[in-house]
Structure 1
Amino acid sequence: MQLLLRAAFPPALPAGRARAFRWPWQDQRRRFSATRAVTFALLLAPAAWVGWLAASHGLGPEPWKEGLREIGLWTIRLLLVTLAVTPLARILALPQLAGLRRMLGLGTLAYALLHLGMYVANENFRLLHIGAEILRRFYLTIGFVGLLGLVALGWTSTDGWVRHLGRGWKRLHLLIWPIALLGCFHFFLQSKSALWEAVLVAGLLVWLLAWRLLPAGWRARPLALLALAPVAALGGALIEFAWYALATNLPAARILEANLDVTFGLRPALWAGVVALAVPLLAVLRRRAAGSP
């Protein structure tokens, strides 16, 4: 709470502390960075695609709702990508990836704000009605709380805030984990019975949390990473089971059993395990490419 108050009511920065504006495609020294430019373009691409579909009448009979859904999907996807930056930078020994984390985090915030803005527009800008709906509907409340958390993290993401908050900055930005859990829950509530991608997201989020819980010395070891694959698959399967058991009248036990049946293809929980299996493979390939044992 103290950290949030310091973020909301900061003291004035001393003269000369403000940094000059830097474009997204510039590095710390304000030189053009191809990596940052490509990342920025990729961040813009989903919104541009949804805009093109809207302009070409490709969003179906309810374009606002479909566009709102698509932007919401990309918000949770980008949140996962942002959370994956640190593990990938460590596992692949590519510290330069860590420099993209802030851009990706702010991109996630931008999509979350766009998601809210489209919802407001779909409700004809009736702000009192929208406020009442957010308070009344549980899935909207969860989504809005998560958005407020993202705003707080985005506001305090600059170099100046890192210096101002000191050690508390890292503690404050650990809020990204409860925010991610809220976002995943919001995704489940919105998906209802069409849970394929929501379960996949849940399994990948389990992997990211499990990686954080590993001892620091194990986080780049292929065998430790290999052990996380079944954790991701089982975590996704159990979350799917819990959802069907608690939120629906469908036979949750049979759905859990179906996760082990690959006759008709892999279910999303198993796909989370497959994605997790790719991580130690990438780690081994990266070590060989770098000439490490």
Structure 2
Amino acid sequence: MSITLPTPFAWPWRDRAGRFSWLRACVLAAALSPGLVLLALLAAGELGAEPWKAAAREAGTHAMRLLLVSLAVTPLRYLADWPKVVTLRRMLGLVALGYALLHLALYTGHMAWDLADVASEIVLRFYLTLGFGVLLGLAVLGWTSTDGWQRRLGRRWKRLHKGVYLLAALGIFHAFLQAKSRADSAVVLAGVFLWLMGWRLLPGWARAHGLALAGLAVVAALAAAGLEWGWYAATTNLPAARILAANLDPGAGLRPAQGVLVAGLVVAVLTAARRRLA
């Protein structure tokens, strides 16, 4: 029986020519390191009273972060005038899928590896059903991400992989449902996602224009603040109006929407500076 080894490009740290790429290797190491730290903390018993549950939640958050980073590749290509960054998109998407699978595996560990119980929970609990559906969607995109599938599907390949936008939105909704009354992380994810989608809706001339990007940052931050208020008002007994007002109070600490605003303004300033220097 013969064993077929992967082609050089199959290894994520190599480029299409089969050469070692420091860029790909460093990005891969940065993407994988939070997961390795998480597993080390789990093994050391440093994750609280319910370590498997905490680890599962953190792995899911990492999955969403990496998915949004993969969606940020196209804006980064334009804003930094860096075509080579596009070669990282597939790898980032696959690492996001890996974190999503780890999320499910850790949740199974939390359920004492009782697969029947896990399946029952996924069927009976809507937020778990939703999360499992997102995982299946990411698995389909990961399986069909190869050059071979791209040639096989032709124009349908691009339509299929545009489904990542819907999967990202549903994944963020899953994060809200899982977070319940502690939705700061989900609000940040939502704000970043709204910025990324808003950037794609901008006309071509505005996509690398400092003032347009600053305006987009304000819109994304306001939308994130509105989502935060709506979530707490609709699903909790917390004072949603006071939480919304905290976004205008410097003494209340950095709120999620403020973080989205700061990040967006930094992107706008750096883009304007790069264009001026160029």
Task: Check if 1:91 corresponds to 2:75.
Answer: no
Task: Check if 1:278 corresponds to 2:266.
Answer: yes
Classify the secondary structure of the residue corresponding to 2:174.
helix
Task: Check if 1:44 corresponds to 2:35.
Answer: no
149, 159, 165: which is aligned to 1:177? Answer: 165
Task: Check if 1:240 corresponds to 2:249.
Answer: no
- Residue of structure 2 in register with 1:199 after alignment: 187
59, 82, 92: which is aligned to 2:47? Answer: 59
State the Cα RMSD in Å: 1.5
CA distance in 1, matches of 2:69, 2:47: 25
Conserved 8 A contact 2:214-2:265: yes
Which structure has more helix as a fraction of its residues? 2
Classify the secondary structure of the residue corresponding to 1:61.
coil
For residues 186-210 of structure 1, what are the alpha-carbon distances to aligned partners after superposition, in whole Å with 9 as ceiling and x for unaligned? Answer: 1111111112221111111111111
TM-score by length of 1: 0.88
CA distance in 1, matches of 2:61, 2:188: 12
Aligned residues: 272
Instruction: Name the aligned partner's letter for residue 36 of structure 1.
Output: R
Conserved 8 A contact 1:92-1:282: no
| 60-69 or 271-280, which deviates more | 60-69
Give 1:132 deviation, angstroms: 1.6
CA distance in 1, matches of 2:100, 2:191: 22
- Residue of structure 2 in register with 1:143 after alignment: 131
- Residue of structure 2 in register with 1:229 after alignment: 217
Higher RCO (C-alpha under 8 Å, 6+ residues apart): 1
- Residue of structure 2 in register with 1:211 after alignment: 199
* Structure 2: segments with no counterpart, 5+ residues: 1-5
TM-score by length of 2: 0.93
- Residue of structure 2 in register with 1:4 after alignment: none
Classify the secondary structure of the residue corresponding to 1:88.
helix
Give 1:216 deviation, angstroms: 2.7
Task: Check if 1:155 corresponds to 2:143.
Answer: yes
Conserved 8 A contact 1:109-1:154: yes
Conserved 8 A contact 1:204-1:232: yes
CA distance in 2, matches of 1:196, 1:138: 21
Give 1:178 deviation, angstroms: 1.0
CA distance in 2, matches of 1:123, 1:246: 30
Instruction: Name the aligned partner's letter for residue 20 of structure 1.
Output: T
CA distance in 2, matches of 1:270, 1:236: 9
21, 25, 38: which is aligned to 1:33? Answer: 21
Conserved 8 A contact 1:237-1:259: yes
Give 1:162 deviation, angstroms: 1.3
CA distance in 2, matches of 1:63, 1:245: 30
Task: Check if 1:260 corresponds to 2:248.
Answer: yes
| 146-155 or 246-255, which deviates more | 246-255
- Residue of structure 1 in register with 2:208 after alignment: 220
